[in-house]
């Protein structure tokens, strides 16, 4: 059982997945910082000096001055400002992933086109078998090929 587990863990796709999760977590932190520290302050300023992370609805009806005060008092709150930040985070991450996948697909298509453009095989004129382009003799019918 230990041997099977070790083989499973050391397979290439499991290691690739582990690396992707770690990089994804780090990328998520970068995007969170981008949204919270770079994008939201100017957006809040344009919208009338609004701090999205502090937008909430107090469900207890006591009227707390800030989200932190309401949470410290244990009041039930509806944190729609944090939800707006999360939606913006998601849209930025989804857009970045879309761009990376789009670039990757374009590179794969260009690579496939380049490979298809240069043939590496030809047909033997005697037996019509597929042979390497530089072959001097057909491996199937052993006929000598004229270059």
- Domains, the chain, in order of start with CATH, read 2-119 (1.10.1200.120)
Bridge-based pairing state of the strands 57-58 and 130-132: unpaired
pLDDT at residue 88 tops 70? yes
The CA-to-CA distance between both ends of the chain, in Å, stands at 57
pLDDT, position 147: 67
Locus of tokens 């770690």: 22
pLDDT, position 44: 77
Burial class (CB in 10 A: 0-12, 13-18, 19+), 43: middle
List the beta bridge partners of residue 3: none
Higher pLDDT, 144 or 32: 144
Could you tell me the pTM of the whole model?
A: 0.55
pLDDT, position 76: 92
């Amino acid at each position: 059982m230990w041997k099977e587990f070790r083989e499973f863990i050391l397979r290439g796709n499991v290691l690739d997945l582990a690396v992707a999760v770690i990089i994804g977590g780090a990328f998520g932190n970068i995007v969170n910082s981008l949204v919270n520290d770079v994008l939201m302050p100017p957006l809040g300023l344009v919208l009338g000096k609004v701090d999205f992370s502090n937008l909430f609805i107090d469900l207890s009806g006591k009227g707390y001055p800030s989200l932190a005060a309401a949470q410290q008092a244990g009041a039930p709150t509806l944190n729609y400002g944090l939800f707006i930040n999360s939606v913006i985070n998601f849209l930025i991450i989804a857009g970045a992933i879309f761009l990376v996948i789009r670039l990757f697909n374009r590179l794969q298509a260009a690579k496939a086109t380049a490979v298809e453009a240069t043939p590496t095989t030809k047909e033997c004129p005697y037996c019509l078998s597929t042979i390497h382009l530089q072959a001097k003799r057909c491996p199937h019918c052993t006929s000598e090929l004229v270059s």
